[in-house]
Structure 1
Amino acid sequence: TMNQLILYTLLLLASGELAGACPTGCQCQDPKTILCAARRGQTVPRGLPPNTLSLYVFENGITMLSEDSFAGLPALQLLDLSQNKITSIQKNIFQPLTELINLDLSSNQLQEITNETFHGLRLLERLYLQRNRIQHIHAAAFDTLENLLELKLQNNQLWAVPPLDLPNLLLLDISWNKIPTIAPGAFHAVNIESLKIAGLGLTSLNEELFQAQNNLHELDVSDNLLERVPAVLRRLGSLTKLSLAGNARISQLLPEDFHNLHNLQELDISNLNINTIPRDFSSFFPRLRAVTAAGNPFNCICQMSWLVQWVNASSVVLRRPEETRCHFPPKNSGKLLHHLQYADFGCPTTTTTTPTPTTPRTTTLPPPAPLPTTSRPVLQPSTAAPTLGARAPLGSSTPMPFSGPPAPTSPPPPICPPRTCLNGGTCRLGAQNHLECLCPAGFAGAYCQVETRGTTPSPATPSPLPSQRISITQVSSTSLKVDLQNYIQSKAQLKGIRLSYRNLSGPDKRPVMLRLPASLSEYTVRALKPNCTYRVCIGPLGEKVSKEEHCAEAQTLPASQQQHSPVTQSKDSNLTLMIVPALAAMLLLLVVVTAGTYYCRHRRAKAHASTEVDASPLELEGVKACLENGDLSNHGCKVPEAAILSGGSECEVPLMQSHYPSNNNTPGLKPSY
């Protein structure tokens, strides 16, 4: 009857509301994201909606996981169980989660990983196990994780590197374990980009250790017991970031230690035991942007004077300058290295007596007196200032630095290294003796590497602009490094950062949303498509997408051209950029003229026929395509609705990406994602 039908409908509605109800102690602002932070429950919350994509249950006091903890969640892609008290995981616990991409089990009390712990997680891309008590990992524990991109195992109690046959792995962190030696062939991840092996107690690195790692960009061997710079580093010509910090047994840097590291951009040699840096050091790294040398007992004598002059005259940034001080000699003890002048280093000077020249006379006059002799002491070996002072008046005797015989015929060296500025930018020496790029209209960034649309920066304004809050500092064929420091400093009480990026070169330009903690100073978006233009935007977490967002665009390099440093755009490239728009404009004009002609003839024909034809609008159906952004797995594309922005509303995924193979290899405070 009608009453029974109404009652049945009400029951269905009630059951639907109950199924989508938010668990007690949780927040469900996004219907597919459930945030249960500090809920203080010993089990995973029950009654979760089956369409949940992201589940955050960190710092809940959970002690164990049961077989049905994740039953009924077939669509779950992100699971955060960090900062709980989980001591063990039963086999096949995660098997129902066939769509899981991100799993965070950090800061628990796990002691062992078996071959069945992660059984069924074939789509997993990020696995965080840091800050546990793991002592043993089964040899086949990660065999089924063929799509894994990131694996973090730092701060555990491992005694050996676990077997890693992971062809798609990009980041591996096993720092701060108890692994005194690493055997050759321990890393089978041939595509790894970032490797962190700090604080293991290593005394040396085998020269055959990195035979297969030709794509390694970042290496951290800090806080070990190395006695010299490992010779294996000479094989790693693709390195852009190297940290040797905290190896206090290294007391000397030799010129041959850094051969072949021509692509290095960041170097950390802080807290070693070196008292000088070889003068040839500056020529080893033509692309160096930043160096950290704090905490070393520097002997600030004449052999060290070149370092201050090099830092002041180049674009290299000396990090932690307040901790970079002199220990010797006593007169310089405690002084900041970068504040010393050339005279403070005690370099010897030479005295040059310039004779008074005689004016030639006619042949009828007596010959001129013989020229007095000029006293020149022995030349000092490259310890004086690199540039001579003002020329002394004729006939005077003035002490002045002397660095070698003059070479008036050779042109002065260029101020800027080659290929410093991109996209036609002009390099110059700024007011602070730092190199800066003058960017043409439409480009910005430290090296004019960021294309800006809709704005026209003044060519007379050096880049980067002080108000710029987002910049892309490093570009490769598969990744973009985004600098977040300026944005964080410009925001008070920032809870977190919302970062989105989209591929402007592909058929699907929908953004991928990430949530980052406010403690990150930089973020690397990985697994991108080569030779594609990406638009990256950042904004405050927890607010809708608005004008508060700051965006930048950059193009990844072609697959055959790996980026390690800025490369200047050639004249042929500029010519191409001029010809292509001109041809496009001509083609567009031709199309417009053809369409106008056709329209006029069509009107005349209609008037002649005295008939009217109403044109029905053409309905376009949106085609939902897979995101092109780095699909490292071979499974079918699954684009969660949380990644789609509609009507200006945002799709929020707290603190860690929920569905896409971009990743963050920068350590931060909790929550750590």
Structure 2
Amino acid sequence: GCAKLILCTLLLLAPRDLAGACPTGCQCQDPKTILCAARRGQTVPRGLPPNTLSLYVFENGITMLSEDSFAGLPALQLLDLSQNKITSIQKNIFQPLTELVNLDLSSNQLQEITNETFHGLRLLERLYLQKNRIQHIHAAAFDTLENLLELKLQNNQLWAVPPLDLPNLLLLDISWNKIPTIAPGAFHAVNIESLKIAGLGLTSLNEELFQAQNNLHELDVSDNLLERVPAVLRRLGSLTKLSLAGNARISQLPAEDFHNLHNLQELDISNLNINTIPRDFSSFFPRLRAVTAAGNPFNCICQMSWLVQWVNASSVVLRRPEETRCHFPPKNSGKLLHHLQYADFGCPTTTTTTTPTTPRTTTLPPPAPLPTSTAPRPPPAPPPPICPPRTCLNGGTCHLGAQNHLECLCPVGFAGVYCEAEVRGTTPSPATQALPPSRRISITQVSSTSLKVDLQNYVQSKAQLKGIRLSYRNLSGPDKRPVMLRLPASLSEYTVRALKPNCTYRVCIGPLGEKVSKEEHCAEAQTLPVSHQQHSPVTQSKDSNLTLMIVPALAAVLLLVVVVTAGMYYRRHRRAKAHAGTGVDASPLELEGVKACLENGDLSSHGHKVPEAAMLSGGSECEVPLMQSHYPSNNNTPGLKPSYF
């Protein structure tokens, strides 16, 4: 009876679990998502299931694509071929992929895009070609891509804007090419919302450039050679985000160029050559939420005092405040602009004297009246000193010290101007140990080689979090160099794997995009010894009286059934926990992907996990690829546009 049960079970399971083998070097935990990250091979893997929807084959060393590379994949919707060594694409390569929506060819070695390269991809919505060596794009290369929403061509070797007759295009990035001028009519995409033309070497923008674009929300002209604020901005009243940063030849901000930007929410005027900002500047932007003015040689005299008061009194966020400093006069040189008080700007002061009969007010000459004022007004009283948010780190307390400078009182165990340095060998006091929930890191032992880090408290404590930087290092081994991970802000937990057994690890988390020493939260935890794992893959029976006498051939069959059944149970158990909403370890798709990030940018803040965690041991910060069906900004639902703002 037992043997029959085993054989029947094997026959029932064989067609379902044993027939659909996963290609070598790939992970197929989700039958419709195949992850072949960092697989070594010069060709696309063979034997893929015909119902595959998403195929990730980045960083594989692929050098060429053949006509049958994607044969038998009629349902494929997402194809990621980034970070390979593809130099050219023959015609009709992608023609079998009639359902393809997202195509990522970034970080390859492509030099040319022909009229036949993307033939047949009529449903394509996102095409990523950044970080190649593209010098020429044929005139009709994109003509058949009538549903295209996003096109990224930054960091190539283009000398001109490619022909773009794309009626539905919403995002275009051609930054960091070699395009010194852009002629009017170059952008035929009339519905474009986000245009990035940074780092092209532009010296000016033609005033007729955006005649057809009435829905432009984001414009990035940073790091060009502009000599003045482009007058074309006067016709872009729909802008919500504008970056002029890095145009070091701009020395003035004429008021007339900003009058019509009433919808602007984010403004970046950093790294220009301006020494003052006009006082009526703030009245132009009633919806402004954030301004970046770092890296300018500001004259911190009375005419600039309004800026600090405005930032303190309004809800506008001054970004990169540590880099926003005074250059003149000498007494203010090098000081943080947002730390200055009203009197520091050298403005006239108001004094009041009292006699026994009537009070008498003596006022020193006030500054010149504002252009919008109808009568002279005395200057406002100095505002009380306010510590900017997160001035002091690691639980430090901000207060007003000598000479009206802001200082940090550091808790035991930390030192430095901003309490940023940890002092070894100190014992924190009970008050220091009772950290608020936002500063606690909960680490759970999972096995002898993995630790689970709870990120929920940290994520919830941050209002605007691009992403999470997680680092860990082995304090017990000879190599104590930290390993850096870049994680999306949507993760509530992350399991660090491939650790050494019975070792103490220091784990730190901080905001992505900021210095390592700033706002970092750390904790230590020890992995389990090899013989004391909390979870074992197979639970053995404790009944020692049960003895099975099986011939060797039947024993092999039994072993196979046990392995398959255990795998099925594990998968079903995971699905059941996921549907029940309980915590569950991230799947290999979420853990073992090592896709290096390709460009800077905001991470999505939606509450979904991504198929792979972006992982880097160094280099620049990164963005999680947008080509994720989990994200509303990349959904494939008809009629629902992505949002970039």
Give the structure-2-normalised TM-score: 0.59
Q: Deviations over 1:558-613 (max 9, x none)?
A: 99999999999999999999999999999999999999999999999999999999
Instruction: Classify the secondary structure of the residue corresponding to 2:560.
Output: helix
Q: 1:588 to 1:419 in 2, by over 3 A?
A: farther
Q: 1:654 to 1:329 in 2, by over 3 A?
A: closer
Show the counterpart of 2:16.
Answer: 16
Report 1:626-645 matches (<5 A).
none
Q: Deviations over 1:182-226 (max 9, x none)?
A: 111111111111111110111111111111111111111100001
Show the counterpart of 2:432.
Answer: 461
RMSD: 19.5
Contact 1:95 1:118 in 2 (8 A): yes
Contact 2:173 2:197 in 1 (8 A): yes
**Distance in 2 of aligned mates of 1:611 and 1:149:** 36
**Distance in 2 of aligned mates of 1:55 and 1:415:** 52
Bigger mean CA deviation after superposition, 621-630 or 75-84: 621-630
Structure 1 position 41, deviation (Å) = 0.9
Contact 2:217 2:240 in 1 (8 A): yes
Bigger mean CA deviation after superposition, 608-617 or 15-24: 608-617
Q: 1:480 to 1:80 in 2, by over 3 A?
A: farther
Q: 1:7 to 1:238 in 2, by over 3 A?
A: same
Q: Deviations over 1:346-383 (max 9, x none)?
A: 123467777x6979999999999999999999xxxxxx
Instruction: Classify the secondary structure of the residue corresponding to 1:487.
Output: helix
**Distance in 2 of aligned mates of 1:431 and 1:579:** 86
Q: 1:594 to 1:439 in 2, by over 3 A?
A: farther
**Distance in 1 of aligned mates of 2:451 and 2:568:** 47
Structure 2 residue 525 is matched with structure 1 residue 526: no
**Distance in 1 of aligned mates of 2:367 and 2:303:** 45
Q: 1:332 to 1:120 in 2, by over 3 A?
A: same
Bigger mean CA deviation after superposition, 455-464 or 183-192: 455-464
**Distance in 2 of aligned mates of 1:111 and 1:209:** 28
Q: 1:92 to 1:621 in 2, by over 3 A?
A: closer
Instruction: Classify the secondary structure of the residue corresponding to 2:30.
Output: coil
Instruction: Classify the secondary structure of the residue corresponding to 2:303.
Output: helix
Bigger mean CA deviation after superposition, 238-247 or 627-636: 627-636
Structure 1 position 426, deviation (Å) = 29
Q: Deviations over 1:638-661 (max 9, x none)?
A: 999999999999999997324987
Structure 1 position 65, deviation (Å) = 0.5
**Distance in 2 of aligned mates of 1:352 and 1:597:** 84
Rg larger in structure: 1
Q: 1:466 to 1:28 in 2, by over 3 A?
A: same
Q: 1:660 to 1:545 in 2, by over 3 A?
A: farther
Q: 1:643 to 1:445 in 2, by over 3 A?
A: farther
Aligned residues: 639
Contact 2:349 2:364 in 1 (8 A): no
Contact 2:626 2:634 in 1 (8 A): no
Identity value in percent? 95
Q: 1:297 to 1:599 in 2, by over 3 A?
A: closer
Structure 1 position 67, deviation (Å) = 0.7
Q: 1:214 to 1:29 in 2, by over 3 A?
A: same
Bigger mean CA deviation after superposition, 265-274 or 608-617: 608-617
Structure 1 position 253, deviation (Å) = 1.0
**Distance in 1 of aligned mates of 2:174 and 2:558:** 57
Q: 1:130 to 1:473 in 2, by over 3 A?
A: farther
Structure 1 position 662, deviation (Å) = 3.0
Q: 1:507 to 1:371 in 2, by over 3 A?
A: closer
Q: 1:326 to 1:42 in 2, by over 3 A?
A: same
Structure 1 alignment gaps of length 5 or more: 378-404
**Distance in 2 of aligned mates of 1:478 and 1:444:** 34
Structure 1 position 282, deviation (Å) = 1.1
**Distance in 2 of aligned mates of 1:600 and 1:46:** 25
Instruction: Classify the secondary structure of the residue corresponding to 1:309.
Output: helix
**Distance in 2 of aligned mates of 1:316 and 1:575:** 73
Q: Deviations over 1:4-33 (max 9, x none)?
A: 999999999867766621111111110110
Instruction: Classify the secondary structure of the residue corresponding to 2:52.
Output: coil
Contact 1:313 1:433 in 2 (8 A): no
**Distance in 1 of aligned mates of 2:532 and 2:600:** 18
Q: 1:528 to 1:44 in 2, by over 3 A?
A: closer
Bigger mean CA deviation after superposition, 560-569 or 295-304: 560-569
Q: Deviations over 1:455-512 (max 9, x none)?
A: 9999999999998999999999999999999964769999999999999999999999
**Distance in 2 of aligned mates of 1:370 and 1:11:** 91
Q: 1:553 to 1:575 in 2, by over 3 A?
A: farther
Bigger mean CA deviation after superposition, 99-108 or 621-630: 621-630
Contact 1:531 1:559 in 2 (8 A): yes
Instruction: Classify the secondary structure of the residue corresponding to 2:399.
Output: strand
Bigger mean CA deviation after superposition, 103-112 or 5-14: 5-14
Bigger mean CA deviation after superposition, 614-623 or 220-229: 614-623
Q: 1:426 to 1:188 in 2, by over 3 A?
A: farther
Structure 1 position 331, deviation (Å) = 0.7
**Distance in 2 of aligned mates of 1:418 and 1:99:** 49
